[in-house]
A and B are shown apart, each in its own frame.
Chain A
Amino acid sequence: MSPAAKVLLDLLPYLAALGVGVIVPKRKSLFERAAVGIVAMLALVLVRGLWPATPSGGAEEAMPREWPHLLNVVVFLPIVGALTILFTPRQSPALLKRLTLGFLALDLGASLLLLRVPMTKGWHFQYIVDWLPSLGIRYHVAVDGISLWLIVLTTFTTPIAAYASFGSLKGRVKDLCFAYLLLQGAMLGAFVALDLFLFYVFWELMLVPMMVLIGVWGGVEKIKAAYKFFIYTMAGSVLMLAAILYLAWAHHQAAGYWSFDYLALSRLSLPRVAAWLCFLAFSLSFFIKVPMFPFHTWLPDAHVQAPTGGSVILAAILLKCGAYGYLRFCMGLFPGPAWAAGANLAGIAVGGGILYGALCAWKQDDIKRIVAYSSVAHLGFVMLGLFAASQAGIEGAVLQMVNHGIATGALFILVGVIYDRRHTRLIREMGGLAKVMPVYAALFVIVTFASIGVPGTNGFVGEFMIIMGTFVSVPLGSNGTMQGVLAAAGVILAAIYMLSMVRKMFFGPLSNPKNRGLPDVNSREIVALSPLIVLIFVIGLFPGLFTSRMTETVGSVVERYVDGRKAFQEVAPEVTQPGLRERRGGPLERGYPLSPSERQAREQGAQALNEGEAP
């Protein structure tokens, strides 16, 4: 076979997918057809990745080299984009929108490059440079199998949110574009930062554009909601700042030099009381962000008032920062207290999140409030998986973060669709919409099924792994079974509130005359939704694509969690001074900051080498 024919044969499935995508849309718009086609092709590429490529002889082929600046590009591209937006004339909204989408698309492309490297244990794409050396503050970014998916989720969701919201935007385009890009940069930064100071900077930075998004483009009570959002999250993060400062000080006490580095601080052996207080400060900050009962009431208000794009980003990504933070920092830095508190916290996640959130969702009359409370329930599942801390539980939790981002993001876009047409989100104003908007109804029902976890969609895989992980969890002990049972009962409630909403919105007689003659979804909305819909099924059927890249990382997280808890148990109660634990070897410790004396020794060695002598 000629090589050209072979290439053609290899490409055939992708071309077929492209063809199907181009034929499927009913409308004439070429743009829409092309977009759907590309989405279909990308989905196939993803699915193909599941099977090992045909061995091409060169089994010893070198692993793709990690370009150390890739993460810098991913994080700072949107920020550079935001600066570019500042110098673009306000009078040309089309240019602004295109620029924004261009930067976001470039960022998506850059983040997809992260997938080329197999996610083995340890850190990848690590980049370290001193920032404020006198305080031991460094710019230290790296990615592992957990943050990888959150980065991709971010770069994937933000363009969709931006694109969807450009449809209904009136005025202030420049500000909105700036906010989106800055927000994207800050969120990505928070996911890759391994220096606690750097993390804190990004963590706070993302509040500002989000508050602006709610406060400027929001609904009637936007200012109140924006304040509530800001103050809630701020209250948590100042406590975290205090804990970070204490940790840095404790490191100075124990090792003799300052460091804010995650890897260095995870070596600290803190006195019991201090460890508990720091754990509480960190976890309070993260629980507010997640949000966990009883700190969740900012979320419905923020969602109801936020514009569509803001809601999508808030639900899909911002909330994940809390869960990610708990996994990375609380479980990584304070395994002892996290383990000891795990069973009780899991009880809160089940009772206050999964069940209580679902019950509250049932009784709301605003669609967005329902979806917001459903987020509380879904994040309850995520947190349960983290507290269970079994391999399947954590993998399921990370996957569920991605799933929730996709399903809830799609739901908010869908709510935005009806809001644009009717300027209300009250359920009692709807009814019988399936008659006038059949495609919209079909999409809504599909996303609903994903949200309530029907097998075959992504929601099931995450919830299933979490529930099974809860049953076998060690930290939860004998409570695990009961919590698993109650979490499983949450699926009943999820069906109740989501299907009640669907029934009241779409089925029954078309009683409200205002709903007659509503146009069905337009091509912009289809284009925004189709990647999400495709991913719902891709993750539902091929979750291995995602979990296989996090297995090793999660394995080492579990291992360190168990180790760290054992070390914590050995700390005698009367120890009041921080100390250092044995340094665990392995690739995890790459990028560990050197103490001044070590650095000096190394520099002297290098100098000696340069001078041609043996060190």
Chain B
Amino acid sequence: MNPIFPAGDFTLLAIIIALPLVGAFVNGVFGKRLGKEAVTLMALSSVGASFLASVYTFFALRAAQTAEQAARFHWHGWEWMRLSSRTDAMGAGSNVPIELAFSVDALSGTMILVITGVGLLIHLYSTQYMRQDEGYHRFFAYLNLFVFSMLVLVLGDSLPVLFVGWEGVGVCSYLLIGFWFHEDANAAAGKKAFIANRIGDFGLLVAMGLLVYYCGALDWKGIEAASSSLAQPVKYWPIGTHVPLAAALPESAANWLNAPRYASAATLVSLALFLGAAGKSAQLPLYVWLPDAMAGPTPVSALIHAATMVTAGIYLCARLAGVFVLSPAAMFTVALIGAATALFAATIALVQNDIKKVLAYSTVSQLGYMFLGVGVGAFSAGFFHVLTHAFFKACLFLGAGSVIYAMHARIHDTERSQDMRHMGGMRAFMPITFATFVAAWGAIVGFPLLSGFFSKDEILFKAYTSSVVAPGDGKLHTARGVIDAFVWPSWGPTVLYGMGVVAAALTAFYMTRLVIGIFFGSFKGWTVVPHWKEPEGDPHAHEHAHHAVEEALEGPAPKESPWQMTLPLVVLGLLSVFAGALNAHALFHSHVLDTWLEPVFAHAQSGIKLVENEEALAIPLLIPSVVVFLLGAGVAYWMYLMAGGEPARKLASAAPRLYQLLYDKWRVDELYEETIIGAVDSLADFAAAFDRIVVDGVLARLTALLVRASGGLLRLLQTGRVHVYALSMVVGLGGLGWFFVAPHATASLERNDGAGAYVLTAAPGLGYQYRWYAEGEQPQDFGQQHTYELTIDKAGDTRKVKLEVKNAFGRVDAKEYVVNRAKPDLSGLPLTIDVGQGADGQLRGDVRPQPGAPQ
């Protein structure tokens, strides 16, 4: 087939990945010395060459796929590390090698086209957008590094290699959001993004741990091969054997708490994976970083936070579709969270004025759609929306950037230059931007026959018609019996579909509002003065002009952006219009994308159940989509253009608190601040104080204090005065004398339990005389015999012996000793029970050791 690059050693993959890395390295290390032209050349050529190689790969893949079913090209670098799998009790486990290997199939082959293609367009756009920035080389180094990481993410052949790209794009996102780091807010936004993503990464790490445990593999092929072992039930509650302190509760509550709960391993793995996906793809509850991420330069928002990086979560779910479909519970969670995010983010976008914020929330909402698609098992539909969204959202962001670029001519304040209340009427000034923006608008709101119309409709259609069933008999066979697994609820399809349709209506509304706000009406940024000239003098004075907010600005008519910026807009605009043709089922029965991706998802299709005769529903389900589009767009058109925004203001003043709540983004940030972040913060405060006061206090200060105190006490005795020492000597001598004068009747016992013989030996002393007598005996005279022997015949018996001691001073001391013959320890010995009939006719048993056993 492919003579240059055989499928098993497809070196071109290494080239695709390495080129942007080289670009990043050169621009990052030498960029400052190279100058802007060379940096531009390096950045564009590396991504461009990578794009060409991706195109070649794509076509090679197509050619291969017609020959065999599922084509997959590999490139193997080196063994990265080696893990061990679960061991048996004897400690024997097998190795789990983690190879630094890459592979490409239909899914990733399409993704790399988007990444390098859209990436190239945005690189081109940025050469103009960032021209004035002093960090030009730094910007392109980061951007190239991002493309590299994203390619690693998509092409990685195992979860750990994907994770390299996964965290790599997080790092680039962190660096690019905080690109203008001298403003505190930008740096804070970067940090927030990284930490929210890290929470997701935590989920991914846990998922990898579980996969190593249950599957013993982390590469795609190995996971797929061992995925059947994920069906086993896992007890996830209680952790350990019981809930601590549950016993203190009433018994029913304690029983309820302690009742073991099971889930299939696939559910746990999928939910952990989804946590990772939700972090990267900004889903509830981790979406909060994405709107803040708009602090970065606009091309970054377009490339990273709209077209590529944020879709990595959907890519992950699609890539591991075979794991997800094993767990209907996890799939339903994914779908429900996706639908909820779509709806929730759309409500926030309704009232925002910052055009980038509107687009950011719109991105969150659209990502929710994609997860809805993936969650109901419509992987290729979800991926289709990834594609179309990449085109139209990148176009929207770049269009917004173009408008902001024009606004920067007179307004230098970031916030004000992005506020749509200062725009309006730009249609006349920026025709190309306007045309492309409207094309992308049509795509996102679902204008019939544009790309977004088909992809969104496909997701909604699948949400209504498909559900996921558990593999096998749908039950968990636990150690405590068979448990019913999660079953797709009957209300599921209706609710998911309904949420999607309502979100579509809201999307149509806020996007129309955005277009009207920017391009229609009259221009409100500044008073347009024809042939206006920049005032001569200190540029810094002009820099500070924006501080005087009330001051009426004057300026030239806003200009259309140069070709480096409009060309990407035009390309993306065209793609937004026509990309729908790839998969326009409902109307044109076009299945190009579905067929293309079919081998990738073939494995996962088994768990997807469709309603009967679903094809017949295709057209009826289209109607609500069109209706809500007309409704949403029409209302916005009426509100903002025909009535000049008056109804919106009335509505806001009618429900001021609701409006404020929406405007404040449901105050979710504040909620997190008060609850989770606050809790961790005070926990950390507590830990630091605990460390200082308790740990250091007890271990260092308290011990030091004890040593010092005892030293101080002893020091009191060392006075250095002779008569004090003499006194202590006298006291000591007196004590010794007393000890010798008093007799001490102490004896030690030598035991021999086996024979029952015991010897008591009295301690010697000054002129000691002894006498011994057992219980009941008469005392004899004192003598010199200092030992006393006695025998006890029966085990368990006790004898008492009294010892009296008389010393040289005639003083007598006495003490009684109790000697007990211990019973032999028969536990663990083989025993015989003799049963016989006694004289009284009763049966009696006698237990004795077996002959031969030690006594």
Q: Within the assembled complex, what's the spacing in Å between the Cα atoms of A391 and B82?
A: 9
By the criterion CB–CB under 8 Å, are A492 and B198 in contact?
yes
Taking the closest CB of chain A, its distance from the CB of B555, in whole angstroms, is 28
Taking the closest CB of chain A, its distance from the CB of B565, in whole angstroms, is 28
**Is B589 part of the contact surface with A, judged by Cβ < 8 Å?**
no
The winner among B87, B178, B687 for most chain A CB atoms within 10 A is B687
Please, which residue of chain A has its CB at the minimum distance from the CB of B186? A507
Point out the residue from A390, A469, A488 that lies within 8 Å of B205, measured CB to CB.
A488
By the criterion CB–CB under 8 Å, are B213 and A481 in contact?
yes
By the criterion CB–CB under 8 Å, are A468 and B195 in contact?
no
Instruction: Please tell me which stretch of B160-168, B666-674, B718-726, B781-789 contacts chain A, meaning at least 4 of its Cβ atoms lie within 8 angstroms of it.
Output: B160-168
| Interface membership of chain A positions 261-280, coded 1 if the CB is closer than 8 angstroms to chain B and 0 otherwise | 00000000000000000000
Q: Within the assembled complex, what's the spacing in Å between the Cα atoms of A551 and B80?
A: 14
Residues of chain A within 8 A (CB-CB) of B202 are 488-489, 491-492
Residues of chain A within 8 A (CB-CB) of B696 are 297
Please, which residue of chain A has its CB at the minimum distance from the CB of B236? A481
Q: Within the assembled complex, what's the spacing in Å between the Cα atoms of A26 and B34?
A: 12
Point out the residue from A434, A461, A467, A499 that lies within 8 Å of B81, measured CB to CB.
A461
Taking the closest CB of chain A, its distance from the CB of B87, in whole angstroms, is 5
Number of A residues near B (Cβ < 8 Å) is: 69
Residues of chain A within 8 A (CB-CB) of B688 are 359-360, 362-364
The winner among A295, A472, A558 for most chain B CB atoms within 10 A is A472
Please, which residue of chain A has its CB at the minimum distance from the CB of B216? A472
**Is B83 part of the contact surface with A, judged by Cβ < 8 Å?**
yes
By the criterion CB–CB under 8 Å, are A485 and B168 in contact?
no
- The verdict on A544 contacting B79 (CB below 8 Å), with A297-B700, A472-B85, A492-B195 known, is yes
Taking the closest CB of chain A, its distance from the CB of B682, in whole angstroms, is 10
Q: Within the assembled complex, what's the spacing in Å between the Cα atoms of A472 and B211?
A: 10
Point out the residue from B82, B164, B182, B209 that lies within 8 Å of A509, measured CB to CB.
B182
**Is A562 part of the contact surface with B, judged by Cβ < 8 Å?**
yes
Residues of chain B within 8 A (CB-CB) of A479 are 240
**Is A109 part of the contact surface with B, judged by Cβ < 8 Å?**
no
By the criterion CB–CB under 8 Å, are B83 and A485 in contact?
no
**Is A519 part of the contact surface with B, judged by Cβ < 8 Å?**
no
Point out the residue from A294, A488, A508 that lies within 8 Å of B209, measured CB to CB.
A488
- The verdict on A472 contacting B80 (CB below 8 Å), with A360-B691, A491-B202 known, is no
**Is A496 part of the contact surface with B, judged by Cβ < 8 Å?**
yes
* Majority SS at the chain B contact face: helix
Residues of chain A within 8 A (CB-CB) of B700 are 228, 232, 297-298
- The verdict on A362 contacting B684 (CB below 8 Å), with A434-B181, A491-B198, A507-B184 known, is yes
By the criterion CB–CB under 8 Å, are B209 and A485 in contact?
yes
**Is B171 part of the contact surface with A, judged by Cβ < 8 Å?**
yes
**Which B residues from 180 to 234 make CB contacts under 8 A with A?**
181-184, 186-188, 190-191, 194-195, 198-199, 201-202, 205-206, 208-210, 212-213
* Majority SS at the chain A contact face: helix
By the criterion CB–CB under 8 Å, are A544 and B78 in contact?
yes
Q: Within the assembled complex, what's the spacing in Å between the Cα atoms of A196 and B78?
A: 41
Q: Within the assembled complex, what's the spacing in Å between the Cα atoms of A562 and B90?
A: 8
Q: Within the assembled complex, what's the spacing in Å between the Cα atoms of A491 and B201?
A: 9
Instruction: Please tell me which stretch of A130-138, A198-206, A418-426, A449-457 contacts chain B, meaning at least 4 of its Cβ atoms lie within 8 angstroms of it.
Output: A449-457
Taking the closest CB of chain B, its distance from the CB of A36, in whole angstroms, is 11
| Interface membership of chain B positions 75-113, coded 1 if the CB is closer than 8 angstroms to chain A and 0 otherwise | 000111111111101110101100010000000000000
**Which A residues from 314 to 369 make CB contacts under 8 A with B?**
356, 359-360, 362-364
- The verdict on A558 contacting B91 (CB below 8 Å), with A449-B171, A506-B181 known, is yes
By the criterion CB–CB under 8 Å, are A472 and B184 in contact?
no
| Interface membership of chain B positions 151-178, coded 1 if the CB is closer than 8 angstroms to chain A and 0 otherwise | 0000000001001101110010010001
**Is B33 part of the contact surface with A, judged by Cβ < 8 Å?**
yes
Taking the closest CB of chain B, its distance from the CB of A215, in whole angstroms, is 17
**Is B685 part of the contact surface with A, judged by Cβ < 8 Å?**
yes
| Interface membership of chain B positions 698-721, coded 1 if the CB is closer than 8 angstroms to chain A and 0 otherwise | 011000000000000000000000
By the criterion CB–CB under 8 Å, are A474 and B167 in contact?
no
Q: Within the assembled complex, what's the spacing in Å between the Cα atoms of A507 and B188?
A: 9
**Is B683 part of the contact surface with A, judged by Cβ < 8 Å?**
yes
- The verdict on A294 contacting B699 (CB below 8 Å), with A434-B181, A488-B202, A489-B202 known, is yes
Please, which residue of chain A has its CB at the minimum distance from the CB of B201? A491
Taking the closest CB of chain B, its distance from the CB of A46, in whole angstroms, is 13
Q: Within the assembled complex, what's the spacing in Å between the Cα atoms of A510 and B183?
A: 10
By the criterion CB–CB under 8 Å, are B84 and A508 in contact?
no
| Interface membership of chain A positions 442-479, coded 1 if the CB is closer than 8 angstroms to chain B and 0 otherwise | 00000001000011100011001101111110100011
**Is A90 part of the contact surface with B, judged by Cβ < 8 Å?**
no
By the criterion CB–CB under 8 Å, are B81 and A544 in contact?
yes
Q: Within the assembled complex, what's the spacing in Å between the Cα atoms of A489 and B202?
A: 6
Point out the residue from A232, A294, A455, A474 that lies within 8 Å of B695, measured CB to CB.
A294
Residues of chain A within 8 A (CB-CB) of B100 are 541
| Interface membership of chain A positions 509-550, coded 1 if the CB is closer than 8 angstroms to chain B and 0 otherwise | 110000000000000000000000000000001111001000
By the criterion CB–CB under 8 Å, are A391 and B93 in contact?
yes
Taking the closest CB of chain B, its distance from the CB of A521, in whole angstroms, is 15
**Is A97 part of the contact surface with B, judged by Cβ < 8 Å?**
no
By the criterion CB–CB under 8 Å, are A471 and B163 in contact?
no
Residues of chain A within 8 A (CB-CB) of B78 are 50-51, 542, 544
**Is A500 part of the contact surface with B, judged by Cβ < 8 Å?**
yes
Point out the residue from A363, A390, A478, A491 that lies within 8 Å of B685, measured CB to CB.
A363
The winner among A360, A470, A479 for most chain B CB atoms within 10 A is A360
**Which A residues from 174 to 201 make CB contacts under 8 A with B?**
none
Please, which residue of chain A has its CB at the minimum distance from the CB of B77? A541
Taking the closest CB of chain A, its distance from the CB of B647, in whole angstroms, is 42
**Is A435 part of the contact surface with B, judged by Cβ < 8 Å?**
yes
By the criterion CB–CB under 8 Å, are B691 and A297 in contact?
yes
Residues of chain A within 8 A (CB-CB) of B86 are 472
The winner among A507, A551, A558 for most chain B CB atoms within 10 A is A507
Q: Within the assembled complex, what's the spacing in Å between the Cα atoms of A479 and B160?
A: 24
**Is A482 part of the contact surface with B, judged by Cβ < 8 Å?**
yes
By the criterion CB–CB under 8 Å, are A471 and B699 in contact?
no
By the criterion CB–CB under 8 Å, are A472 and B206 in contact?
no
Q: Within the assembled complex, what's the spacing in Å between the Cα atoms of A509 and B201?
A: 30
Q: Nearest 5 A-B pairs (CB), nearest first?
A: A507-B187, A363-B688, A471-B209, A359-B687, A391-B84
Sample (30) of A-B pairs whose CB atoms are under 8 Å apart: A228-B700, A298-B700, A359-B684, A360-B684, A363-B685, A391-B84, A391-B95, A392-B84, A392-B96, A454-B167, A455-B160, A455-B163, A460-B167, A464-B81, A465-B83, A467-B209, A468-B96, A469-B83, A470-B209, A472-B83, A472-B85, A472-B87, A472-B93, A479-B240, A491-B205, A492-B195, A495-B195, A543-B81, A551-B82, A559-B91
Hey, which bits of chain A sit against chain B, CB under 8 A?
A: 24, 26, 50-51, 228, 232, 293-298, 356, 359-360, 362-364, 390-392, 395, 432, 434-435, 449, 454-456, 460-461, 464-465, 467-472, 474, 478-479, 481-482, 484-485, 488-489, 491-492, 495-496, 499-500, 503, 506-510, 541-544, 547, 551, 558-559, 562
